[in-house]
């Protein structure tokens, strides 16, 4: 059973970790400035779904495998990095279409497709495994019995995913509002699309060269 103090302590710790801009924030902001709020929100939901799966795997004990295996960590990391670079290239290629998206032409990325892409980013980011593996165990009440530990970790993990969903959504809406002013001008819109695409390419490259957390 999770106590109020335990829940509040974990919520504060998770908020501190999540609120600091990281890969998810850069990804969401990049989507918002490239394609607008609708695509960004769909990406946020997909990313949250991916993190939820990661959290569930950590609760089942598979997070330790990723944390300890350099090979598994590297494979997941490089796959996620390559996908982010590909998304960034696509955003850069479509940068001149931003103004038309505001004027009524359908955006180049559909909502469901954006959700799937966000899911892939969320589930392929090895830092998600590391984060949940680091912040969940310290807040588990082991005196309740070993059988209750996975349930406690799952409940706390859901809180973390919800906090992440709220924070990423706030970034998506803020970046989307700023985008509306930029895309009113074809030149500004093109520059903004290039920035959004470049940020995702840079994020993918940074993820690719990031080493194992403890090695």
DSSP 107: P
For the chain, 215 residues long, give each residue's pLDDT as a single digit of tens: 677 787 888 888 788 777 766 667 777 877 887 788 888 899 999 999 999 999 998 888 765 555 566 776 677 677 767 876 877 787 677 655 544 444 444 445 678 889 998 998 888 876 677 778 777 777 777 676 666 777 888 888 999 999 999 989 998 888 887 776 655 556 665 666 677 677 768 767 876 776 544 43
Instruction: Provide the angle, in degrees to the nearest 10, between the axes of the packed helices 126-135 and 37-59.
Output: 50
Q: How far apart are CA 101 and CA 104, in angstroms?
A: 6
pLDDT at residue number 41: 92
Cα distance between the two ends of the chain: 35
How far is Cα 96 from Cα 190, in angstroms, rounded to an integer?
5
How many angstroms separate the CA atoms of 105 and 53, rounded?
34
Q: Which of 118, 132, 116, 122 is nearest to 66 (CA)?
A: 132
Cβ contact 70:212 at 8 Å: yes
Query: Max Cα separation, the chain?
Result: 62
Burial of 3 (0-12, 13-18, 19+ CB in 10 A): exposed
Q: What are phi and psi of 210, to 5 degrees?
A: -75, 130
CA distance 124 to 163: 20
Q: Which among 213, 196, 168, 134 has a CA at the least distance from the CA of 22? A: 168
Task: Quote the CA–CA distance of 163 and 11 in Å, as a whole number.
Answer: 8
């Amino acid at each position: 059973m999770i106590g109020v103090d335990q829940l509040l302590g974990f919520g504060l710790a998770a908020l501190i970790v999540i609120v600091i801009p990281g890969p998810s924030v850069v990804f969401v902001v990049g989507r918002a400035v490239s394609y607008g709020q609708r695509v960004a929100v769909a990406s946020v939901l997909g990313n949250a779904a991916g993190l939820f799966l990661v959290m569930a795997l950590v609760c089942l004990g598979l997070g330790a495998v990723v944390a300890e295996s350099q090979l598994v960590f590297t494979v997941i990391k490089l796959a996620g990095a390559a996908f982010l670079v590909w998304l960034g290239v696509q955003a850069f290629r479509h940068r001149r279409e931003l103004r038309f998206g505001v004027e009524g032409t359908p955006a180049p990325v559909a909502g469901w497709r954006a959700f799937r892409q966000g899911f892939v980013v969320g589930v392929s980011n090895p830092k998600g495994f590391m984060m949940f593996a680091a912040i969940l165990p310290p807040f588990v009440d082991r005196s309740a019995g070993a059988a209750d530990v996975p349930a406690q970790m799952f409940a706390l993990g859901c809180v973390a995913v919800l906090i992440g969903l709220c924070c990423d959504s706030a970034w998506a809406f803020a970046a989307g509002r700023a985008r509306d002013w930029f895309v009113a001008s074809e030149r500004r819109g093109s520059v903004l699309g290039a920035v959004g695409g470049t940020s995702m390419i840079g994020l993918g490259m940074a993820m690719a060269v990031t080493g194992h957390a403890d090695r």
